[in-house]
A and B are shown apart, each in its own frame.
Chain A
Amino acid sequence: MAEDNKNGKNGNGARVGLLERVKAGVKEDVQSLKTDMPAKAKEQIEHLKDPTKTQVYTSIFRHKHDDTPRNRALGVLSNVFLHLHPAKINRDAVRYSYTWGMGGITFYLFIVLTFTGVLLMFYYHPSKVQAFRDVLYLEHDVPFGKLLRNMHRWAAHLMVIAVWLHMFRVFLTGSYKKPREFNWNVGVILLVLTLLLSFTGYLLPDDQLGFWAVTVGTNMARATPLLGHEGPFGHQLGMTPYNDIRFGLLGGSIVDANALLRSYIWHCIGIPIVASIFMIVHFWRVRKDGGISGPAPVMLASEVKEPKK
């Protein structure tokens, strides 16, 4: 075709018009569509047979997935969520009977609670006028609202149980011993934060159950030594119902609108952020302190090396 064009140009000189050239060009384009596109399509289909070679895929996954030890290790190490784990662990550490899986279950429940909690926040106003009605609305009108609230409530209770069992297991296996003393402390703080998270959530439905539980709970703060108006030496330090620690917790002298707002903010923002930071430290230290504590080979009393004093 290019040949024809050339001949035409040579033969008739400048007489070959613009129209002719456009015609030839279009013809050329049409021809290329007919021949090149099927070839490209064929090539594309060939590529689709192995999607792991596409640029999109290789940009996401940084290594191959053939079943080799190297890839198994890379699968864990090159994944931001999985890299909390080492590539390999003690063969007995995966036994359920040793760890009971309670630490992991606690963390999973925290994720479930964050997820359902965020969804609940879409329907809830932390104000005396609306809070209780919002819960009724959730229970009766929001699609799956009741399931959502139930899941949040029961996951919270389950998390408290899982935290206790986790602590119980860590104690029984002596896993707080050197070099893990500090991480045990982080864990104790996380235990307290878990209970506080659950407790601050108790008031939010603004029903009799939550109201009186929180009233009973915060009444104890009146009796705080030095800082409560009914506590030892509180009176001498000028504590009254309007300036003591309970007033600070509730934002008032009774459990009312301010207390609802405060417990909402602690529950949804304050404590979750603090707990997340402690969790990061907790998980990090599990790895840095040598990974999971066992099951370790048993040690005999005769083998203890007494440190020199």
Chain B
Amino acid sequence: MDWRQLWEIASAPDNIPIVGLIPLLIFYIYLAWKQAKANDELIAELETSPAMAKTHHRKSWPFRPGWQKEVHVWPFLLRMEFLAAIIVSAILMVWSITLSAPLEEPSNPNLTMNPAKAPWYFLGLQEMLVYFDPWIAGVVMPTLIIVGLMVIPYIDTNPLGSGYYTWKQRKFSIGTFLFGFLFLWVAMIIIGTFIRGPGWQWFWPGQTWDHNRLIYEVNRDLPDIFGITSNLAKAIFGAVVVGGYYLAGGFIAHALFRRYNPKDYQRLSLLQYSIMMFFLLTMVALPAKMLLRLLWHIKYVWITPWFNV
């Protein structure tokens, strides 16, 4: 166990934000979960007793008759904002006094940094470069993430859970988002920050970064395993496999979604449903391709003269 190596990574000034993000995320997930739980309990109670549902103020926070439903912004909100500004300023001041922004040697195109890492918030994308060609990892994936985020309000037709924390009313959408945000975005950043060392090789936390380490890894392409040699056959084979993934995966997702989310399934139009399925399957394709690489050393699935997937 090389504690020094671990400390060097964790204490690198530019890695502090990601080290700080982890406890912050844990805290805020706890905060959200606590409120979701209280609201879900209240919802269950109101569902069973219609009389109570008619009179209850429907929040998990206390409310008594006679209390005003609205408060003045001055001072009740403004004091919160003022406090937040002071606290953030204080944190920023202390942070800036105690920790200096990194400054390396002057830029030198002839001396490559190893590992050459993007800023921490882009390490998820850089990690994807291991599994995908740059045109997918660097261009298509970010575009799909942005577009995927933008279509969320238009494909989530569930009217429940608007304006309060809940889990039981929105299991599917919250589950999907948590998977995408925590496992595909934050976890990849953590891997990129803590695990990836020189040569972008995998070093477990505490393992010394060996700049001379060589890994003999033979990656194969999926068509090779099936003994396909001609270019045309490879292109057709790949298209069939990728198309097959979307069809078979789509069918499985359809079967599950129809059963477990009948109301949303009813509400979704054909366009909304297809867009949701496309983004869902594309998102799942990312860990699927990672598994193909990590378990069976498969590099490409679909090989054409113009692009490889």
Q: Which residues of A contact B (CB under 8 A)?
A: 69, 72-73, 75-76, 82, 85-98, 100-101, 104-105, 108-109, 112, 132, 135-136, 139, 146-147, 149-155, 157-158, 160-161, 164-165, 168-169, 171-178, 180-181, 184-185, 188, 191-192, 195, 198-199, 202, 205-213, 215-217, 219-225, 228, 230-233, 236, 254-255, 293-302, 304, 306
Contacts and interface: CB of A to CB of B under 8 A. Distances in A.
A223 B81 CA distance: 45
Contacts of B36: 172
B99 A212 contact: no
B288 interface: no
Contacts of A206: 106-107
Identify the interface centre among A172, A180, A220, A299: most chain B CB within 10 Å of its CB. A172
A225 B135 contact: yes
A233 B109 contact: no
Interface of chain A, helix or strand or loop or mixed?
Answer: helix
Given A91-B68, A176-B152, A85 B77 contact: yes
A95 B76 CA distance: 10
Interface string B146-174: 10011011101011111111100110001
A224 B74 contact: no
Interface in B163-218: 163-166, 169-170, 174, 177, 181
Interface string B87-105: 0110111011101111111
B185 to A, nearest CB: 9
Contact of A298 (B43, B96, B117): B43
A151 B91 CA distance: 10
Contacts of A236: 306
B181 to A, nearest CB: 7
A223 B138 contact: yes
The 3 closest A-B pairs by CB, nearest first: A220-B138, A296-B163, A294-B163
A298 B108 contact: no
A299 B162 contact: yes
Contact of A221 (B17, B139, B177): B139
A93 B77 CA distance: 9
19 contacts: A85-B73, A89-B70, A96-B80, A100-B28, A101-B80, A151-B96, A155-B92, A172-B36, A173-B163, A185-B153, A209-B113, A211-B108, A213-B117, A216-B118, A220-B125, A220-B138, A224-B135, A293-B163, A301-B47
B72 A72 contact: yes
Interface of B: 14, 16-17, 20-21, 24-25, 28, 31-32, 34-36, 39, 42-43, 46-47, 53, 57-59, 61, 67-78, 80-81, 84-85, 88-89, 91-93, 95-97, 99-109, 111-113, 116-122, 125-126, 129, 133-135, 137-140, 146, 149-150, 152-154, 156, 158-166, 169-170, 174, 177, 181, 263, 266-267, 306-307
B88 A108 contact: yes
B225 to A, nearest CB: 24
A306 B61 CA distance: 29
Contact of B162 (A92, A132, A296): A296
A172 B95 contact: no
A64 to B, nearest CB: 14
B162 to A, nearest CB: 4
Contacts of B169: 301
A231 B135 contact: yes
Contacts of B57: 297
B121 A178 contact: no
Given A94-B77, A216-B117, 10 more contacts: A72-B75, A85-B78, A88-B71, A89-B71, A91-B67, A101-B84, A171-B174, A185-B150, A208-B104, A301-B263
B122 A199 contact: yes
B69 A90 contact: yes
B43 A217 contact: no
A104 B81 contact: yes
A69 B266 CA distance: 49
Contact of B119 (A151, A205, A213, A299): A213
A69 B21 contact: no
Given A132-B107, A208-B106, A298-B39, A177 B162 contact: yes
Given A221-B139, A295-B61, A132 B307 contact: no
A147 B96 contact: yes
B307 A232 contact: yes
Nearest to B109: A254
A134 to B, nearest CB: 11
Contacts of A225: 135, 139-140, 307
Identify the interface centre among B14, B149, B162, B170: most chain A CB within 10 Å of its CB. B162
A302 B47 CA distance: 8
Contact of A207 (B32, B46, B93, B107): B107
Nearest to B149: A188
Given A72-B72, A94-B77, A304-B160, A215 B154 contact: no
